[in-house]
């Protein structure tokens, strides 16, 4: 993107409409142009008449390039993309097929400042925030690739890739607005989930401003255990986190990455049940993917299943989620980390269409 030029992927329909009005378009022409441009970024041809003059003006005003996305497919059908921006920054996006839907997991930052102990990205530290068009561009590049290989159009978005989304809240919310425009990618707002490690002041802001679903990485329900896993928990304790979650009008997803000996015992279960009591929450149990700390591993599956059953028996909605894409660097940050550490490895990655993992 040339310096000083806006990007189409950062524009909502309303901002495009205002742009056209400010250049003298009539209200009808401005609305039609905005509709057409939002559709264009999503790779659609909108059947809305717009004069050539306005289309050319928009082409001059807005860049439309997408980041380079290198796909690697896992045997379970998950496709992990190493997404590279023109400045060399590298993040990940993941397309996860489920029966009847496809979820795209997006990154919000290059690296992350939050330093969770089991996270590969946390080891990298934060390089920079992604801009709105860079986040929306991940989704656009993934959608384009899925279409090219005959896979279904993505239906759901989760902000659970690299970065703490609430540390880049404005860009994340704007990207969600771009992706949910029904003239463009048309992802239903209730199918967009933004995840946080528990940045309490930003949760309140997110709930006040957003119309999207919230997920919170809980992982432990007593302060001492949680601080040992998530440095962010030293800043905001569980009482303040719980109070912020209670403000949500929609159900909140609690993520519980299961780690042997750290959060899988009957005591941990009791603490989690106490945390959930009176909240409108659902729990996702995710056996740990191998990460940077070798001594941290997932419990045996019987333990995970028993934990899930005990939650359900106590009336808490609990789902078991297996980590996706294990064989292509399934833990957050691993694929991008591998490429960053050895850039020439990109040539050796099994690229979809030429070879499959
Ligand atoms: S788990 Fe998320 S918030 Fe924690 S370090 Fe990794 S990317 Fe950052």
Q: Is the pLDDT of residue 45 over 80?
A: yes
Q: Is the pLDDT of residue 121 over 90?
A: no
Q: Is the pLDDT of residue 354 over 60?
A: no
Place of tokens 């082409």: 59
Q: Which of 73, 92, 131, 271 is catalytic?
A: 92
Query: Quick one: average pLDDT of 11-37?
Result: 96
Our measurement of the distance from residue 130's CA atom to the centroid of its chain's CA atoms, rounded to an integer in Å, reads 12
Name residues whose C-beta falls within 8 Å of residue 297's C-beta, 6 or more positions apart in sequence: 259, 260, 288, 290
CA distance 355 to 357: 7
CA distance 1 to 16: 18
92 is catalytic: yes
- 187 pLDDT band, cuts 50/70/90, is very high
Res 207: pLDDT: 97
Q: Which atom of ligand 1 is nearest to the CA of 112?
A: 8
Q: Is the pLDDT of residue 356 over 60?
A: no
Query: Quick one: average pLDDT of 110-128?
Result: 90
Query: Quick one: average pLDDT of 9-35?
Result: 96
Res 118: pLDDT: 83
User: pLDDT tens for residues 241-298?
Assistant: 999 999 999 999 999 999 999 999 999 999 999 999 999 999 999 998 877 677 889 9
Looking only at the bridges linking them, the beta strands covering 101-105 and 68-73 are unpaired
Q: Is the pLDDT of residue 343 over 60?
A: no
More confident residue, 83 or 349: 83
Q: How much of the chain exceeds pLDDT 70, in percent?
A: 89
Taking each continuous run of H as one helix and of E as one strand, the counts in the chain are 13, 14
Query: Does ligand 1 lie within 6 Å of residue 116's CB atom?
Result: yes
Looking only at the bridges linking them, the beta strands covering 109-111 and 126-129 are antiparallel
- 36 pLDDT band, cuts 50/70/90, is very high
Q: Chain-wide mean pLDDT for the chain? A: 89
276 is catalytic: no
Query: Does ligand 1 lie within 6 Å of residue 163's CB atom?
Result: yes
Longest dimension (CA), the chain: 68
Query: Does ligand 1 lie within 6 Å of residue 16's CB atom?
Result: no
Q: Which of 105, 116, 119, 332 is catalytic?
A: 332
User: pLDDT tens for residues 93-107?
Assistant: 999 999 999 999 999
Ligand 1 centre to CA of 257 (Å) is 12
Domain boundaries, the chain: 6-63, 68-348
Identify the CATH homologous superfamily for domain 68-348.
Aldolase class I (3.20.20.70)
Q: Is the pLDDT of residue 355 over 70?
A: no
- Residue 106: both structure tokens together: 């997006």
- Alpha-carbon dihedral angle through residues 321, 127, 123, 236, given to the nearest 10 degrees: -70
For the whole model, what pTM was predicted? 0.89
- Residue 137: both structure tokens together: 């561009």
- 324 pLDDT band, cuts 50/70/90, is low
Q: Whats the size of the chain, residue-wise?
A: 357
Q: Which atom of ligand 1 is nearest to the CA of 163?
A: 7
């Amino acid at each position: 993107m040339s310096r000083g030029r806006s990007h189409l992927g950062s524009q909502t329909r309303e901002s495009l409409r205002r742009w056209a009005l400010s250049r003298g378009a009539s209200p009808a022409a401005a609305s039609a142009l905005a509709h057409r441009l939002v559709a264009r970024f999503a790779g659609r041809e909108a059947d809305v008449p717009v004069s050539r003059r306005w289309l050319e003006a928009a082409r001059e005003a807005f860049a439309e390039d997408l980041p380079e996305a290198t796909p690697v497919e896992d045997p379970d059908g998950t496709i992990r993309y190493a997404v590279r921006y023109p400045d060399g920054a590298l993040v990940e996006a993941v397309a996860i097929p489920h029966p009847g839907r496809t979820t795209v997991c997006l990154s919000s930052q290059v690296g992350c400042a939050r330093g969770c102990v089991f996270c590969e990205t946390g080891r990298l530290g934060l390089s920079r925030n992604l801009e709105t068009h860079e986040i929306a561009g991940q989704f656009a590049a993934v959608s384009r690739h899925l279409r090219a290989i005959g896979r279904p159009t993505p239906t759901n978005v989760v902000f659970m890739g690299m970065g703490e989304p609430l540390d880049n809240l404005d860009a994340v919310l704007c990207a969600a607005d771009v992706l949910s425009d029904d003239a463009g990618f048309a992802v239903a707002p209730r199918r967009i989930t933004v995840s946080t490690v528990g940045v309490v002041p930003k949760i309140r802001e997110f709930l006040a401003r957003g119309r999207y679903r919230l997920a919170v990485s809980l992982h432990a329900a007593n302060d001492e255990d949680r601080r040992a896993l998530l440095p962010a928990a030293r800043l905001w304790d569980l009482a303040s986190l719980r109070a912020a979650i209670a403000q949500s009008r929609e159900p909140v997803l609690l993520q519980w990455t299961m780690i042997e000996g750290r959060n899988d015992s009957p005591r941990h279960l009791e603490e989690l049940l106490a945390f959930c009591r009176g909240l409108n929450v659902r729990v996702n149990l995710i056996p740990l993917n191998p990460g940077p700390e070798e001594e941290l591993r997932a419990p045996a599956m019987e333990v995970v299943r028993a934990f899930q059953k005990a939650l359900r028996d106590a009336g808490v909605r609990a789902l078991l989620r297996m980590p996706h894409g294990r064989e292509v660097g399934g833990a957050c940050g691993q694929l991008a980390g591998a490429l960053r550490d050895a850039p020439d490895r990109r040539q050796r990655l099994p690229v979809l269409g030429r070879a499959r993992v």
